[in-house]
Structure formats: structure tokens, C-alpha cells
């Protein structure tokens, strides 16, 4: 089959599978099959860029990085909605409509808590996505919206149409994104709406693609050109291939409307995304002009806002947790209660000021909610229920080592003053070896705790001294020969970890993964960085006052200077190496391909080798550096073995080039 035809077929199959999975929620092929087809498509498109189509699902992987966003003027302004907060206000909304028209009915839809977007299709092909902006001028976020898997790049009908809807981040993605941010020491998103909005304004579409946003459509612009009512518009959107939230209903009168709203309020708690109300729209389009508009919003629609769920419970105790930087955080221990669908027993109280300002006391009745329906928080105290609770006092000693806590001027946090605090150290060790830092995968939380308890691990350099205790470690229950060998070799391998990861792993306050990357580019060795002064640091774009001060303080502290010198003499890499791709193992090497390849075509494999600086040769000689032997390799393999040429199979070849192609 020719490549052009295969590309067309693959696009059709994958787009259909996408639609079945993301829009209809009825998968028709397995993830594995899907990945395989997509892989084949990307390969073909790389080989034959001239056959690449605009509606190709490979666009959804996200390829472009932008400098900023273009402005887009909405031909039909994106209006907002008025709000009602209770049944009385709902009745007035209905009354106002009843005064100007009769024979009307309503459509109720969930109010999805995300950000509005307008999509333009020309001849059935996706052209552009724009944010609401100020309602008249928004931003062109086409490349980012393209990464949303449920977005159809081609519609069922070849029409010109503009449609609008809500981009949102499902709870599952929100949780994952924040967990990742936490491990990278980056500020968290407060709620899924902020996360969705922040993600859509990302300049790197790959980041957007990794965040799993989703999209519900609810409006057809100039809808009366196509249909006569909102019920028909929603059905039409589905027919065209869009994802529509199916919790919509046709209701005939005010009583039915009130009942529906109560039903929504109950069911929304179990939904996997945030909703903050019910949107109520008059169904019949021919009545819209008669009912009219204000300057901001239509009078034929409104949003009934839900009360965020707030639950009363008892604050049983305030405990304290120590983090890897030595910050001690107060935590609310609550009588467990169900809030927005899950049981809450603990909530952060942030710091002393938070507790004092809200006058939160042990034994109080408190109101808890979930910030953004996710993060449990104590909102306030029910003072009328207070009996004889004593005012809160911040503890003065570390919960782990009992050293005094200190609070620096101008800061809200309390720190343990013991530079060797075991509580802090153990968290620092866990962070150091974690996947996002030094990536010592066999040295997880449990192993760190055990080795710490037994006295083998008290600080970071101890990790690199474990090899002197191999025999002792093998005796620890649950360890054994294999596990210890793996542990030691993972530790050894981590000495070569990149400088920025090491720097991040040290756990310097305010130095997250991103800041570490910036720092090593400006200070390519640890000596450069240790000698950096405040005024040089502050010159760097992404380095603010707080970060600069923290870095200077860290490297001026003799304890940490000692630590660095120790790690240096243990052989850890503390130099930034640029352009690692050029140093690929294939660079300058003569490589021969033989046998049947299953993952790559011969041409692809040759192409990749050449791009990585290698030379492909057709015959084996003593000058050959490497033989890639596919299935049923014959004489060349034999000869390579005789000559002592290194041989790898196709899987190993794939591993060697992984992440590069």
C-alpha cells in the first residue's frame, strides 16, 4: 500500500477511535493498539511530511513552543451570565421572562468550572481556538487546544461553524499535576479551574498535552442558522462529533426547574470534574431577541450557583509535621467527615499566623470545605459553640528532635534550629534519592526509613558510604544479596546524575527543579555557584530576591559547605554539561545493520544513526564499531563475533535512541 493512502487510513481509524474513547466514552480498540497505530502514523508522517494532513491526530501530541499569543477579535462577542443564588432570585428571573413572552421552556445544563473557549471550523476542518479574553478580544490558543483529545479536528459535516464550550481539568489530572508540582517544589494550582486556565496559557504545547485537559461544548454561534432551539443545538453539536455534557434536560416550568436543580446539586458531588452551578437557558431561539440582553449578558439565561459544600466538625487536635527544609507545619486533626464526596480527617493549617488570625483552638467546632473541591481546609470557627477552649500556642520545640524552633523576621514559617534534625534529614534523604532528583530508584521511602533507623543513613554523604557496609546490609531482614547489589549499583550510577538534579536534590529552600536548571546554565560548576554573590544572582531573569538570598545563605553556611566538599570527594558530578545529544554513543562510530528489523525500517534506522553522528556501513570489518542484529541475522553476525565487534539487538538499539526519536 502506498504511504499516502496508509496515512489517510490511519488518520481515519485513529480519529474514530479518539471519538469513541474521549467523546462517546465507549473505547473500540485497546490502548496498546491505539499507541501502535499512532506510532505508525508519526513514523510515516516523519518520512513523508508532504502527506501530512491538518486533521492528523499526531497534532495532538503538541509540537510548537510559542513566544506569546496572537489576539483574536470575536465576531460575536462572548457574553457572560447573570447569577442567581436561591429560589427567590430564580423566581424573579422567570417572572421577568414571563412578562415579555409566553410559551417558553427551559434547558438546564451543568455549569462546568473551567474557562470558555470559542472554536472555528472552516469546511468542517478545525481552524482556530480562542479564549474569551475580555469578551471582545481573546487569545489564539489553537496549538494548545489541539492537544485536547476529545477535540474533533474534522467534523462530520463540511460546514463553516463557530462553537463555544468550556475547557476544564478533570479531578484525576488535577491531582496528578499537583503531585508532580509538589515533587518538583513548584507552587501548586489552587483548584482545577486555575489549573486549566494556567495550562491553556502555557507556551509549550507539549506541557499542555501532558496535562489531560478536556472540553464540553454547549453553544453554537448564530445557532438559528442551523437549528431552532438549545435542545436541538446540543443534539447537533453531538452529531457533528463534539463532546457534550449529557446532563442536560428540557424542563417545562419553574417547579420542574427547582426540582432539577436539587437533583443536580446531589449528583454533581460524584462527578469527576468541578461544577459550580446549573446554567438555565430558554429553549426557544425565536424568543431570544424579544427577551433581550443587558450590556454583559443575555436575559434569557442565568446561572444558579451552588453553595460550595461546607461541613461542620470538631478540631480534635493540632499536630506538627516537619518537612525536608526543616519547616514545621501545624496540621488540623479532625473528627472525620465527608466533604464533597470523600472523608476528610486532616487539613493543613499553614502556619502560626493562619491559626491566630482565625482564632482556631483545639476542641473548637469548625467549618471545613475543599478548596477547589479538592484540598481540605479549615474555613472558620463556630464561636457560638465554643466553651472553654484555650487560645492556640505555637509549639516552641521540634516535634522530632526537641531543638528550639525559630521564626525569622518577616517570615511566617517556623524552622527547627537543629542542622542535624533526624526528622528533617529523613525527609531530605527521601527527596534527594527521589525520581525527580537523583533518581536512585531502589532507595525509596521505606528503605531510607529502615536504613535510618538502623543508623546507616543519617545524611546525604552516608548514601555513598553504604557500599562499605554491603555484608551488613545483606543481613537485614527483607534485603538479601540481589537487593543490596541493585541498591549499591543504583547509588553508584547516580554519581553521574546531571548537576541540576543534584542541586535540586540538595533541597535548598526555594530552589525547585526549574530554578536549579536555570542556575546550572549560569553557574556551570559547583565552585562557580558557591562563589556567586547576591547581586549577580538577582541579575538572572528567573531568580528573585527570596531565591537569591536563600542560595547565598545556604552556601555561606559551613555545614553545607562541608556537605558539598564531602559529596565532591565521593565523586558526584557537579558540572553542567551542555548539548548531551552531540555526545551520543553513535557519534563518530561506524555501524552495520543486519537481519530483519521489526520496530524500524532499514531506512529509518540508518537515518537515525546518521542524525546522531554515526556512519552506516554495509559490510563488517575490523573498523566496525557496532552491529545492530535483527531477527535471523546470519553471516554478518558470525563475522562480527569472530572479529569481536560489539553486537546489540533491535530492542537495545531502541533503548539507545529512546527519547531522541
CB of 280 to ligand IVH, least distance (A): 10
CB of 257 to ligand IVH, least distance (A): 15
- Site map for ligand IVH, 317-336, x if CB under 6 A? --------------------
Q: Return d(Cα 65, Cα 50) in angstroms, integer.
A: 22
Cβ proximity to ligand IVH, 162 vs 377, nearer residue: 162
Nearest position to ligand IVH, beta carbon: 116
Helix (H, G, I), strand (E, B) or coil at 349: coil
Q: Which of residues 279-298 bind ligand IVH (CB under 6 A)?
A: 279, 297-298
Q: Residue written as cell 558510604?
A: 465
Does residue 218 touch ligand IVH according to CB under 6 A? yes
Q: Which of residues 73-92 bind ligand IVH (CB under 6 A)?
A: 79-81
CB of 259 to ligand IVH, least distance (A): 19
Q: Are 135 and 74 in contact (CB under 8 A)?
A: yes
Q: Return d(Cα 394, Cα 415) in angstroms, integer.
A: 12
Q: Return d(Cα 420, Cα 403) in angstroms, integer.
A: 10
Cβ proximity to ligand IVH, 217 vs 574, nearer residue: 217
Q: Which of residues 236-275 bind ligand IVH (CB under 6 A)?
A: none
Cβ proximity to ligand IVH, 236 vs 600, nearer residue: 236
Q: Which of residues 453-492 bind ligand IVH (CB under 6 A)?
A: none
Q: Which of residues 126-165 bind ligand IVH (CB under 6 A)?
A: 132
Binding ligand IVH (rule: CB under 6 A), the pick from 108, 120, 219, 418 is 219
Among 44-52, 105-113, 316-324, 501-509, which window interacts with ligand IVH (CB under 6 A)? Answer: 105-113
CB of 85 to ligand IVH, least distance (A): 13
Q: Return d(Cα 650, Cα 283) in angstroms, integer.
A: 61
CB of 297 to ligand IVH, least distance (A): 6
Binding ligand IVH (rule: CB under 6 A), the pick from 7, 41, 72, 116 is 116
Residues with catalytic roles: 111
Cβ proximity to ligand IVH, 107 vs 503, nearer residue: 107
Cβ proximity to ligand IVH, 52 vs 171, nearer residue: 171
Q: Return d(Cα 260, Cα 266) in angstroms, integer.
A: 10
| Secondary structure E strands in 37-193 | 71-73, 82-84, 106-112, 115-122, 125-131, 137-139, 161-168
Give kind and range of the element (H or E) at residue 375: strand 375-381
Cβ proximity to ligand IVH, 248 vs 586, nearer residue: 248
Q: Return d(Cα 610, Cα 590) in angstroms, integer.
A: 10
CB of 227 to ligand IVH, least distance (A): 16
216 sits in the region (left: phi over 0; alpha: psi -120 to 50; else beta) called: beta
Which residue pairs, CB below 8 angstroms and at least 24 apart, start in 510-513? 510/546, 510/547, 510/550, 511/185, 511/547, 511/550, 511/551, 512/184, 512/185, 512/186, 513/184, 513/185, 513/186, 513/436
Binding ligand IVH (rule: CB under 6 A), the pick from 37, 72, 84, 112 is 112
Cell of 119: 472554536
User: In whole angstroms, how far apart are CA 589 and each of 367, 609, 613, 624?
Assistant: 67, 9, 8, 8
Q: How far apart are the first and last CA of the chain?
A: 25
Among 110-118, 499-507, 555-563, 616-624, which window interacts with ligand IVH (CB under 6 A)? Answer: 110-118
| Secondary structure E strands in 474-618 | 590-594, 615-617
Q: Which of residues 178-197 bind ligand IVH (CB under 6 A)?
A: none
Cβ proximity to ligand IVH, 109 vs 650, nearer residue: 109
Does residue 624 touch ligand IVH according to CB under 6 A? no
Does residue 109 touch ligand IVH according to CB under 6 A? yes
Site size for ligand IVH (CB under 6 A): 16
CB of 79 to ligand IVH, least distance (A): 4
Cβ proximity to ligand IVH, 38 vs 220, nearer residue: 220
- b (16+ CB within 10 A) / e for 581-613: eeebebeebbbbbbbebeebeeeebbbbbeebe
Binding site residues, ligand IVH, CB under 6 A: 79-81, 109, 111-112, 116, 132, 166, 218-219, 279, 297-298, 301, 303
Amino acid at each position: 500500500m502506498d504511504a499516502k493512502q496508509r496515512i489517510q487510513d490511519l488518520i481515519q481509524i485513529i480519529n474514530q477511535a479518539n471519538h469513541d474513547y474521549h467523546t462517546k466514552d465507549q473505547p473500540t480498540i485497546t490502548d496498546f493498539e491505539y499507541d501502535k497505530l499512532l506510532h505508525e502514523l508519526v513514523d510515516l508522517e516523519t518520512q513523508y511530511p508532504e502527506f501530512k494532513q491538518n486533521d492528523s491526530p499526531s497534532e495532538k501530541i503538541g509540537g510548537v513552543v510559542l513566544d506569546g499569543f496572537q489576539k483574536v477579535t470575536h465576531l460575536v462577542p462572548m457574553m457572560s451570565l447573570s447569577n442567581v443564588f436561591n429560589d427567590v432570585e430564580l423566581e424573579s428571573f422567570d417572572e421577568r421572562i414571563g412578562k415579555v413572552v409566553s410559551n417558553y421552556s427551559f434547558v438546564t445544563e451543568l455549569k462546568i468550572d473551567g474557562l470558555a473557549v470559542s472554536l472555528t471550523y472552516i469546511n468542517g476542518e478545525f481552524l482556530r481556538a480562542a479564549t474569551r479574553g475580555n469578551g471582545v478580544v481573546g487569545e489564539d490558543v489553537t496549538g494548545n487546544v489541539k492537544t485536547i483529545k476529545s477535540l474533533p479536528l474534522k467534523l462530520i459535516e463540511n460546514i463553516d461553524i463557530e462553537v463555544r464550550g468550556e475547557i476544564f481539568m478533570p479531578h484525576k489530572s488535577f491531582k496528578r499535576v499537583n503531585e508532580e508540582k509538589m515533587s518538583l517544589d513548584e507552587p501548586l494550582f489552587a483548584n482545577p479551574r486555575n489549573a486549566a486556565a494556567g495550562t491553556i496559557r502555557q507556551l509549550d504545547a507539549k506541557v499542555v498535552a501532558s496535562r489531560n485537559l478536556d472540553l464540553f461544548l454547549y453553544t453554537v454561534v448564530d445557532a438559528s442558522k442551523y437549528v431552532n432551539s438549545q435542545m436541538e443545538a446540543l443534539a447537533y453539536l453531538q452529531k457533528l462529533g463534539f463532546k457534550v455534557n449529557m446532563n442536560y434536560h428540557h424542563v417545562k416550568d419553574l417547579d420542574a426547574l427547582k426540582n432539577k436543580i436539587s437533583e443536580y446539586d446531589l449528583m454533581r458531588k460524584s462527578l469527576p470534574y468541578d461544577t459550580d452551578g446549573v446554567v438555565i437557558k430558554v429553549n426557544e431561539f425565536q424568543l431570544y431577541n424579544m427577551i433581550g440582553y443587558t450590556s454583559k449578558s443575555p436575559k434569557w439565561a442565568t446561572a444558579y450557583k451552588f453553595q460550595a459544600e461546607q461541613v461542620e466538625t470538631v478540631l480534635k487536635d493540632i499536630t506538627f509535621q516537619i518537612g525536608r527544609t526543616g519547616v514545621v507545619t501545624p496540621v488540623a486533626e479532625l473528627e472525620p467527615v465527608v466533604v464533597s464526596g470523600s472523608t476528610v480527617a486532616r487539613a493543613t493549617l499553614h502556619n502560626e499566623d493562619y491559626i491566630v488570625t482565625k482564632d482556631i483552638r483545639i476542641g473548637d467546632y469548625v467549618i471545613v470545605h475543599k478548596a477547589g473541591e479538592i484540598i481540605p481546609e479549615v474555613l472558620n470557627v463556630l464561636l457560638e459553640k465554643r466553651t472553654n477552649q484555650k487560645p492556640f500556642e505555637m509549639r516552641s520545640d521540634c516535634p522530632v528532635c526537641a531543638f528550639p524552633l525559630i521564626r525569622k523576621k518577616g517570615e511566617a514559617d517556623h524552622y527547627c534550629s537543629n542542622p542535624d534534625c533526624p526528622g528533617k534529614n529523613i525527609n531530605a534523604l527521601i527527596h534527594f534519592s527521589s525520581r525527580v532528583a537523583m533518581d536512585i530508584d531502589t532507595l525509596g521511602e521505606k528503605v531510607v526509613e529502615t536504613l535510618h533507623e538502623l543508623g546507616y543513613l543519617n545524611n546525604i554523604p552516608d548514601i555513598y558510604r553504604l557500599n562499605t557496609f554491603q555484608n551488613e546490609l545483606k543481613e537485614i531482614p527483607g534485603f538479601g544479596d540481589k537487593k543490596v547489589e541493585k541498591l549499591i549499583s543504583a547509588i553508584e550510577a547516580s554519581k553521574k546524575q546531571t548537576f541540576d538534579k543534584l542541586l535540586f536534590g540538595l533541597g535548598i529552600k526555594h530552589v525547585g527543579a526549574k530554578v536549579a536548571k536555570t542556575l546550572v546554565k549560569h553557574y556551570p560548576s559547583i565552585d562557580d555557584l558557591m562563589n556567586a554573590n547576591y547581586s549577580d544572582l538577582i541579575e538572572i531573569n528567573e531568580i528573585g530576591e527570596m531565591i537569591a538570598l536563600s542560595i547565598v545563605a545556604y552556601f555561606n553556611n559551613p555545614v553545607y559547605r562541608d556537605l558539598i566538599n564531602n559529596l565532591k570527594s565521593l565523586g558526584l558530578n557537579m558540572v553542567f554539561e551542555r548539548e548531551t545529544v552531540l555526545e551520543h554513543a553513535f557519534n563518530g562510530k561506524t555501524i552495520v545493520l543486519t537481519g530483519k528489523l521489526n520496530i524500524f525500517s532499514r531506512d529509518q534506522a540508518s537515518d537515525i544513526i546518521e542524525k546522531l553522528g554515526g556512519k552506516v556501513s554495509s559490510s563488517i570489518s575490523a573498523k566496525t564499531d557496532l552491529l545492530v542484529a535483527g531477527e535471523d541475522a546470519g553471516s554478518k553476525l558470525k563475522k562480527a563475533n569472530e572479529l569481536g565487534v560489539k553486537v546489540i539487538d533491535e530492542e537495545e538499539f531502541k533503548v539507545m535512541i529512546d527519547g531522541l526519536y
